[in-house]
Chains A and B, each alone.
Chain A
């Protein structure tokens, strides 16, 4: 049912865990559907320097999470945001059709983590601006 590559990533998932003070965190899915994943990213100079995940779900959910961490590591944010669900499935040698929709959420989780980072950066900037304007008056 699953490709050898999927089974490989399922048996020995890469980059499992949390990043304590991650720059961005993204969670997608829900336990009712059976797949819930959280991706943590560390970002330096617009590049993803570290990425980790935690996933509750089937073998496909775990393998796609593992694969996204490999695909994302070292990429700049613009390129990382271009990684699609299809890219993840292709890198794993394909997924069973029934799993393409429900368990292939890793790209979404990565994007959510990056957006979380970008949002925080934006907020930071706003508060700094507010601070400096406060000093000015």
Chain B
């Protein structure tokens, strides 16, 4: 139930990768047969990844993961265009790979606008339009949020970016392989993805760079990946990502339908059966695999560890579970306070989850929450429980 964190590598993907460790171990830059073999495998993988997002093969650059792709896009565009402008627009709910990169480039002379989002996590497009200045060189807005699952209207954002003649990058790490992504339709200039989020291996990702978009490299060296990402290519990883992209593309629609049905079952049951429980994020415009809740008077880290005891892997935006003891910036940005953020729980599904597992979660979660509440000094709100009963039907109807 924590597939937004990572996914199991598909056994078919492992099979595809294995020969590239021991048999076809060539360096893709070598002229000889071993090298050509590696090169060809890499280019086949590139086509498969490109196909998944509606791109041309030579618009895809392999990286070491989503974070590197994000860094490469933001820093690469910023440093390349510093003479044109020094303003970048993003949102308050980006992944740390964008947030931290933006705060870094602020220290080297760039200006960043962090757009607010509404209570469902959506960016206000009129705010975006207003934020663009002559100095703006990049808009970077995620496709789907990793915590609350809200899907942004990237086609509208792409249109605005095009009209204003500003580059548009989207972090699509959570959405690629789960929902249809079409870079042409969305008029995206750059798009980040990570293989391990869709049953590929860790340590490999890609950046889509639309033809004609120029950026500075992050890693200098031997000139691999058109000089944009030097370093001997990770052929087994790249082959794995290609295979995973192929499978994800083939199963996109049926997997999406099955997984979103499980998601809806969890959402309905939890809101029905657990008093004072709330859904975070957008009621409908959300990833098929994402559920994010908050429960009154319960702390998320305790909740995650209690579920872990029962064999359920989940995650939380509670400050108590973060390395910095700060509550999730995403939950704060959608208007929750620290206390509400403490009670958050994220359950994210994958294509390997079964109806039995969903049934088990629905059975165990209410028990665990009520056990935690029984020892919580904050849980003395029976009157509010009654009030909540009136509200649940409203929450369900909103869906």
A49 to chain B, nearest CB (A): 22
Report B-chain residues with C-beta under 8 Å of the C-beta of A35.
299, 320
Given A34-B320, A57-B320, A98 and B325 contact (CB-CB distance below 8 Å): yes
Query: Quick one: which of A8-39 are within 8 Å of B by CB?
Result: 10-11, 13, 16, 27, 31-38
Given A37-B377, A98-B323, A59 and B301 contact (CB-CB distance below 8 Å): yes
A21 to B378, CA, bound (A): 19
A31 touches B375 (CB 8 A): no
Closest to A7 in B: B305
B302 touches A10 (CB 8 A): yes
Residue A55 interfacial (CB < 8 Å): yes
Contact of B377 (CB < 8 Å), options: A7, A32, A36, A59: A36
A41 to chain B, nearest CB (A): 15
Given A34-B320, A102-B325, A55 and B339 contact (CB-CB distance below 8 Å): no
Interface band, chain A: 20 to 34
Contact of A32 (CB < 8 Å), options: B339, B374, B379: B339
Closest to B323 in A: A98
Query: Quick one: which of A94-113 are within 8 Å of B by CB?
Result: 98, 102-103
Report B-chain residues with C-beta under 8 Å of the C-beta of A53.
375
Residue B342 interfacial (CB < 8 Å): yes
B376 touches A34 (CB 8 A): no
Residue B338 interfacial (CB < 8 Å): yes
A57 to B303, CA, bound (A): 10
B378 touches A11 (CB 8 A): no
B79 to chain A, nearest CB (A): 35
Contact of B302 (CB < 8 Å), options: A16, A37, A59, A102: A59
Query: Quick one: which of B277-294 are within 8 Å of A by CB?
Result: none
- Residues on A lying within 8 angstroms of B by beta carbon are 7, 10-11, 13, 16, 27, 31-38, 53-59, 61-62, 98, 102-103
Q: Could you pull out 10 A-B pairs where Cβ atoms are within 8 angstroms?
A: A10-B305, A11-B309, A16-B375, A31-B342, A32-B337, A34-B299, A54-B376, A56-B298, A61-B299, A102-B320
